[in-house]
Amino acid sequence: PPSPPRRSRIPANATGLLYVAERAGNVGGELNHKMDHLACFLPGVLALGAGHGLGDRWGGGNRIRRGLAHAALARLGLPASTTHLDIARELARTCVQMYARTSTGLAPEMVHFAAEGAVSSAWRDLLGKESTTSHGDFVVKLQDAHNVLRPETVESLYVLWKTTNEREWRDAAWAMWRGGGKHTK
């Protein structure tokens, strides 16, 4: 399915989806371009903060932390004016696509993204394996294709809907509910 219309000020990145990657070991570890379903709690946390007046400024008022945050946003191709709510919306759209792009309407436990700027040999290896399925911007390994009915995404969608009153989040939650009702009996 096509991605929903963009309402935030964040431009589409190379994959079109904003995601939370992992670092192996520690902050200096190798970047692994995968996102677990558990990360879908983050849009709700960011939206809760925004609903209480937080997140319009990065760094909590500290000039050094704000500078580091703006540098990180720039590395992602995002303007310094990006708010926590902007990030929440885009991460939630990625979580919704984890559901919408599967044949069952249920999200896998984790998805793998291509590294921006270069299609790595690891990504090509993932695409070439019979144990993966491609869903446009991401692939799912067979061992990660299961769904354990985690609540993180639907909770985030509820908080976004209550915070923004944008129908997009209700509609996405309803589509997820229908997928669950059809395939989890």
Side-chain half-sphere exposure of 153, counting CA atoms within 13 A: 34
Are 108 and 146 contacting, i.e. CB atoms less than 8 angstroms apart?
Answer: yes
CB atoms within 10 A of CB 165: 9
Distance CA 182, CA 168 (A): 21
Residue-wise burial string across 60-88, b where 16 or more C-beta atoms lie within 10 A, e elsewhere: eeeeeeeeebbeebeeeebeeebbbbbbb
User: Sheet holding 138-141: strands in order across?
Assistant: 34-36, 110-113, 138-141, 132-134
Enumerate the active-site residues: 109
Distance CA 64, CA 58 (A): 10
